[in-house]
Amino acid sequence: MGWGIFQYNPIPDQASAHAAKYDALFWTISILTVVFTLFVVLLILFYAIKYRRGTKVDRRNPMTHHNGLEALMMGVPLILALGIFGWSAKQFVEVRAMPKDAMEVFCIGKQWMWHFQHMNGIRENNELHVPVGQPVKLTMISQDVIHAMYLPEMRAQYHVVPGRYTELAFTPTKPGRYKILCAMHCGTQHSEMVGQLYVMDDREWGEWLEKGGNKYKDKPLNMVEAGAQVWKDKGCGNCHTGLDNPRAPSLVGILGKTRTMTDGTTAVADRDYLREAIKIPHNRITAGWENTMPVYGSTLTETQVLELVEFIKSLSVSKGEFQRTDMAGSTAASDGDSTAVDISNKGSSAGNAQFRSSEER
């Protein structure tokens, strides 16, 4: 349980460009209110005590009217009121003028949730992500009853009305998580029509956009990207480089090629063949190489195999990503020189390759 004023700031966060200006006006009115209230209350107490029944004070000729005094009593409050009015009206015009460079976000209010749609297609429910420093304009409409988009830390509010579009602009200035509230009674779960406004710095905003607005998990990878990840994880590139080498054949453009095996049979390197070559490589060894590849039958899932195959399909010589830098200078058997097997590497091929790759990671 919070102990209010002793623990929390009695002023809500100032998180928008308008908030500081708003609070300046708010506290000016507050000071006038306190001064005026104290003045009246003290005056009442002073007169009530001074002229209480039985005190010996001059009570002759009590004044019953005084036009000058009345004019003063009307004039001073009027001038103060008009001053506050002018200040307030000026700020209201500013805050209701929609900035031209604003990032537009569409907002649909419905019982009892906020739905946001960004221009780039990202949709959000009860959450709104915006970059810091960028004016944001919400173009809003309600699907059922009247709601009110209320962002207390932005000092911003406007009604969300069915049948017409309304607009609300604010410029967040402080990264953080803020409240989105509905301030117009809208039915049973009115008090649960709340959400979060995330104001993010440029880096977070960039990442958020990158992830397509999904902050809970990494950006979804496509098959090739996922395959590349497996390729990297398992260190396939330690042996399978862009060119055939003594340790392993190159896999560039392998799909669809006819491969000759050590027992003389041939096989078309289709998806099935590649799956077998990954999961049980010793079953059929390509002619010219030793049985050095580790068995991945139980370490890779079927999904990972599919992804890996897709990645292999995407390989091309020009892509440097799967080439080992330490092999880059080697001349390693230019074109299927199958005879030149590096025997010295035999003992360390499988285990070492994997061990080394995990080190590199």
Partner 1 sequence: MSATVVGQSSAKPSEPKNYLNADHTLKSWLLSVDHKRIGVMYLIAVTFFFFIGSIAAAMIRYELTSPKGILLSSEVYNKTFSAHGILMVFQFLVVVVPAVLGNFLIPIMIGARDMAYPRLNLLSLYMFITGGFLILASFVLGGVDAGWTFYVPLSTISETQISLCLVGIFITGFSSIFTAVNFIGTIHKMRAPGMTWYRLPLFIWSHYATAIVVILGTPVVAITLFLVVVERGFGFGIFSPELGGDPVLFQHLFWFYSHPAVYIMILPAFGIISEIISCFSRRPIFGYRFVAYSSLSIAFLGFLVWGHHMFLSSQSVLQGIIFSLISFILAVPSAVKVFNWTLTMVKGSVHFSTPMLYALGFMGLFVIGGLTGLYLASVDTDVHLTGTYFIVAHFHYVMVGGTILAYLGGIHFWWPKMFGRTYSEFWGRLSAMIIFIGFNLTFFPQFMVGYLGMPRRYHYYYFAPEWQFYHLLSTAGSTVLGFGFLLPALYLTYSLFKGKKAGPNPWNAKGLEWEYTSSPPITENFTQPILVTDSVYDYNPAEDSKMYEVDEEATVEDMNK
Give min distance, CB of 113 to partner 1, in A.
Answer: 14
The answer to whether 211 and 218 have CB atoms below 8 angstroms apart is: yes
Burial classification of residue 318, based on how many CB atoms lie within 10 Å of its CB (0-12 exposed, 13-18 middle, 19 or more buried): exposed
CA atoms within 13 A on the CB side of 92: 8
In the complex with partner 1, the residue whose CB is nearer, 53 or 361, is 53
Tokens at residue 277, please? 């070559």
Contacting partner 1 within 46-105 (CB under 8 A): 47-49, 51-66, 69-70, 73-74, 77-78, 81-82, 84-85, 87-89, 91-93, 95-96
Which single residue is written with the structure tokens 């579009």? 165
In the complex with partner 1, the residue whose CB is nearer, 64 or 258, is 64
Among 31, 43, 295, 328, binds partner 1 (CB under 8 A): 43
Chain centroid, CA 291 distance in Å: 49
In the complex with partner 1, the residue whose CB is nearer, 65 or 217, is 65
Contacting partner 1 within 128-187 (CB under 8 A): 144-146, 148, 150, 152-153, 155-159, 161-164, 166, 179, 181-187
- DSSP assignment of 88-125, as one string? HHHHHHHHHSPPTTPEEEEEEEETTEEEEEETTS-EEE
x/- string (CB under 8 A) for partner 1, residues 302-331? ------------------------------
In the complex with partner 1, the residue whose CB is nearer, 184 or 199, is 184
Q: What's the sign of the alpha-carbon dihedral 228, 229, 231, 232? A: positive
x/- string (CB under 8 A) for partner 1, residues 262-301? ----------------------------------------
